[in-house]
Amino acid sequence: MLVIMGNVVFSQVGIGTSTPHTSSDLDLGDTNKALYLNRVSDTSVINDPQPGMMVFDVSEQCVKAYQDSPAKWSGCMGSVSGTVSGLTCSSASFSPATATQGAVYTGTLTIPYTGGNGGTYPSQSFTQNGLTFTLTAGNFSMGNGNVVYNINGTPLTSGTTSVNITAGGQSCNGLSLPVNP
């Protein structure tokens, strides 16, 4: 004689509560304690990030979440909008310092700033004279730092390619990249 018995078991874990909520896997039921996330030097130390992971990023002093579509770490969650006291336009630099008409150019435009508040800034992308300037979303440092645009493309005309940049509520106008014939 064969007897088969079955039970449906649901498992929730409760810390600080004997009756975890049925919609949760983990219920932190204490009313005067907080969740203490893992602290990592930066998100690159996570070898195999998965959507839904959360960490405290020590380098940026904020909470980040890994998300899917596209798969990447979020910017700082709940952070303030980024501002800077000033962009040091006179120290802005292109690397390489010159481009050539009709030849592929891959480089950067680096603009120093002062008085960053640690807040977030959005991504930017624009094209000038066949060159696409891209700023990846991120966070300003507390204090001084650099805004770095990646530049890719093929200059259409020789002469000077001038761009106007706005970041953190400040602007630099007429930043010039010489383009050789």
Domain limits, the chain: 13-73, 86-180
Q: Which of 169, 161, 171, 163 is closest to 84 using CA atoms? A: 169
* More confidently predicted of 77 and 12: 77
The residue-averaged pLDDT of 87-110 equals 98
Residues 6+ apart with CB under 8 A from 3: none
The residue-averaged pLDDT of 82-86 equals 95
Rounded to whole angstroms, the Cα distance separating 46 from 111 reads 30
| pLDDT band at residue 19 using 50, 70 and 90 as cut-offs | confident
Dihedral of alpha carbons 29, 42, 45, 122, sign: positive
Contact between 16 and 28 under an 8 Å Cβ cutoff? The reply is yes
Q: Which CATH class is domain 86-180?
A: mainly beta
- pTM of the predicted model as reported, rounded to 2 decimal places: 0.62
pLDDT tens per residue across span 147-172: 999 999 999 999 999 999 999 999 99
